[in-house]
Amino acid sequence: MFSTHKVFLFPLFFFLIIFQCRADQTSTLVIDASNGRPIPDTFFGAFFEEINHAGAGGLWAELVRNRGFEAGGPNVPSNIYPWSIIGDEKSILVSTDRTSLFERNKVALRMEIFCHGSKHKSCPHGGVGISNPGYWGMNIEKGKKYKVVFFVRALGPIDLEVSFVGSDDGVKLASTNIKASGRYVSTWKKIETLLEAKATNHNSSLQITTKNRGVIWLDQVSAMPLDTYKGHGFRSDLFQMVANLKPKFFRFPGGCYIEGDYLRNAFRWKDTVGPWEERPGHFGDIWDYWTDDGFGYFEGLQLAEDLGALPVWVFNNGISHHDQVNTSAIAPFVKEALDGIEFARGSPKSKWGSLRAAMGHPEPFDLRIVAVGNEDCDKFNYQGNYLKFYSAIKRYYPDIQIISNCDASEKPLNTPADLYDFHVFVSEYAVWKEDAGNGTLFDIVHMVSYAPLFVNSNDRKWTPDAIVFDSHQHYGTPSYWLQQIFTESSGATLLNSTLQTSSSTIVASAIEFNSSQDGKNYLRVKVVNFGNETENFRISINGLHSEVQQFGSTKIVLTSSNVMDENSFSEPKKIVPQRVSLENASTDMKVVLPPYSVTSFDLLK
């Protein structure tokens, strides 16, 4: 039998259910400040999956949806949704064909314009063409600049107007003209232009129109705000929400997303790297939407680096929800995983490392941990496939830690693993409406993360989630704010403690940590009151080699009087942690715990 070297990896879907129990007595947490266990530096992290339009239409700032016209499938003519046609059938005919210059995404859009100018057979006032609303409306803000890129060819000269227009009121927010001779655009040409918005509309569309008769092809139409984080393509406000959690690791890109409902729709990393316009995109059949894969393998590695977190790459192991590759035929998948590691870590002169370098990152990424599949342990071929991956990766990259999907919390594994992946489907970290409760706080795990991280309010495939957003605004759920209370846990010391209570609604623990904000040493006591009654609580600390300082000691409380309360766009901070001074801070103190609450007592040493 093989045993794991580390304890748990928890991508958490964590709920806490409320117990109805009244406790009239005082519960006591007795803490031995002289004894404890180190919590791993990588304890607290973030888990990203392309679900709920978390990337496409969310963290990835691309404004155009279905930019390559591939979402309708490879056969033509095809559906171009959500693109729409400007003009009637007498003035324009829009179709798709397979004449794109890109070998991995051959579909292009063809516009045949029948009208011309403003006289005989004149075009409508604004011209004819196509319009894209993005992901439930593009956010265009006054004074901000947007880079629009597209590929074009034509049978004659072109005179195109590229505009951002309010979808609800038709007001033009920004516009520019693109003119070119017929000779120049007789073959595919890349057009880049910069638009500066003169007004704001959070529900806008990108329009490409003309008043000239002719035939024009368009492909790979992109619009990106210039103010993405470090120019890396991440929507700045959503990036900051993740950064504020101070994750020590970043698990990506899934989740069930990497498996696919069927293998033909699984996430395959090689299709998501290289120039954006050359990526074929794919239909994520698990969560039922198309993604252009602008947020691909490279972007996940880059995001981890930008967050200052270790990347944890989850790759497909030849298994989906409905089909799987026999172990005897798994070799190509193993090669794909090895190539992926070379892409992340290889020399810029290696085959895949050179592609990474060409994408602007000659230095290797700090990839140390990989996961073989996602929640696949019960699949017939998993353990056989896993051993093939494990053996090959350890042969070429012996330092990489490998995560098994199989749970060793109750009995040892019969396969080798550095960590094992234990999913807890008990809901959300925080008390969330009627589903809150029935959870456990664990003494110590090696890595812990919450999922799903994001949800676009227009496409809630899963509830609950940590961060809710639409085209221009966002808020954190109570679970998001609870995670912030745990951000200092990585690298802290879990102190020995004993909870003396007859209450079934109290859970408590204590850590010692060095604050990342002021560099001072604190003893933090976290207490959860699951119940609907106020609880009396006593903190008794032994073995502390310094006095607790009243000035600088604080209390953080996350609670609400109604278990059904939640945050919203109109009240984004209805339930957020409230920090106040702790006037009675000492080694022996009595406190009161509100119902439905999480309280953190930060005692300055």
- Sheet strands side by side (includes 424-427): 424-427, 9-14, 447-450
Residue 298 contacts residue 242 (beta carbons within 8 Å): no
What are the Cα distances from residue 400, in Å, to 45, 211, 311, 369, 370?
18, 59, 12, 6, 7
Q: Model confidence over 116-174: pLDDT tens digits? A: 986 667 899 899 999 999 999 999 999 999 999 999 999 999 999 999 999 999 999 99
User: Is the N-terminal amide bond of 464 cis, ω within 30° of 0?
Assistant: yes
What DSSP line would sit under 189-245, residue for residue?
A: EEEEEEEE-SS-EEEEEEEEEE-S-EEEEEEEEEEEETTSGGGSSB-HHHHHHHHTT
Give the β-pairing of 9-14 and 447-450. parallel
Spatial CB neighbours of 575, under 8 Å, sequence gap ≥ 6:
478, 481, 558, 559, 560, 565, 566, 567
Selection from 107, 206, 201 nearest residue 160 by Cα: 206
Q: Give yes or no for residue 394 having a pLDDT over 50.
A: yes
Q: Six-digit token pair at 268?
A: 């395959």
Residue 504 contacts residue 572 (beta carbons within 8 Å): no
Categorize the per-residue pLDDT at 8 as very low, low, confident or very high, splitting at 50, 70 and 90. very low
Q: Model confidence over 574-586: pLDDT tens digits? A: 999 999 999 899 9
Spatial CB neighbours of 217, under 8 Å, sequence gap ≥ 6:
97, 99, 108, 109, 110, 111, 152, 153, 154, 188
The residue behind tokens 């032994």 is 542
**Euclidean distance between CA atoms 605 and 535, whole angstroms:** 26
Name the average pLDDT for the chain. Answer: 91
Residue 478 contacts residue 575 (beta carbons within 8 Å): yes
Q: Six-digit token pair at 437?
A: 């409760």
Q: Model confidence over 531-547: pLDDT tens digits? A: 999 999 999 999 998 89
Categorize the per-residue pLDDT at 91 as very low, low, confident or very high, splitting at 50, 70 and 90. very high
Question: What stretches of 276-428 adopt beta strand conformation (E)?
Answer: 282-284, 289-291, 310-315, 369-372, 401-404, 419-420, 424-427
**Euclidean distance between CA atoms 586 and 594, whole angstroms:** 20
**Euclidean distance between CA atoms 270 and 309, whole angstroms:** 23
pLDDT at 466: 96
Give strand pairing partners of 319.
Answer: 324
The SS3 of residue 369 is strand
**Euclidean distance between CA atoms 410 and 1, whole angstroms:** 13
The SS3 of residue 263 is helix
What are the Cα distances from residue 74, in Å, to 100, 158, 161, 236, 271?
12, 27, 29, 34, 15
Q: Give yes or no for residue 206 having a pLDDT over 80.
A: yes
pLDDT at 24: 59
Residue 581, H or E segment: strand 578-581
**Euclidean distance between CA atoms 258 and 48, whole angstroms:** 11
pLDDT at 583: 87
What's the start-to-end Cα distance of the chain, in Å?
45
Give strand pairing partners of 148.
Answer: 193, 223
Half-sphere exposure of 513 (CA within 13 A, CB side): 23
Selection from 97, 92, 218, 69 nearest residue 158 by Cα: 218
Spatial CB neighbours of 442, under 8 Å, sequence gap ≥ 6:
8, 10
How deeply is 25 buried, as exposed, middle or buried, from its count of CB atoms within 10 A (0-12, 13-18, 19+)?
exposed
Question: Which of the residue ranges 218-222, 433-437, 474-478 would you say has the lowest mean pLDDT?
Answer: 433-437
What DSSP line would sit under 120-180, residue for residue?
A: TTPPPTT-EEEEE-TTTSEEE-TT-EEEEEEEEEESS-EEEEEEEEETTT--EEEEEEEEE
How deeply is 414 buried, as exposed, middle or buried, from its count of CB atoms within 10 A (0-12, 13-18, 19+)?
exposed
42: amino acid identity, one letter: T
**Euclidean distance between CA atoms 449 and 49, whole angstroms:** 12
Residue 192 contacts residue 213 (beta carbons within 8 Å): no
**Euclidean distance between CA atoms 116 and 121, whole angstroms:** 6
**Euclidean distance between CA atoms 232 and 128, whole angstroms:** 34
Q: Specify the higher pLDDT residue, 120 or 312.
A: 312
Give the β-pairing of 249-252 and 189-196. unpaired
Q: Give yes or no for residue 431 having a pLDDT over 70.
A: no
Q: Model confidence over 272-304: pLDDT tens digits? A: 999 999 999 999 999 999 999 999 999 999 999
Q: Model confidence over 315-355: pLDDT tens digits? A: 999 999 999 999 999 999 999 999 999 999 999 999 999 99
pTM of the full predicted structure? 0.93
Selection from 4, 44, 31, 85 nearest residue 490 by Cα: 44
CB atoms within 10 A of CB 179: 10
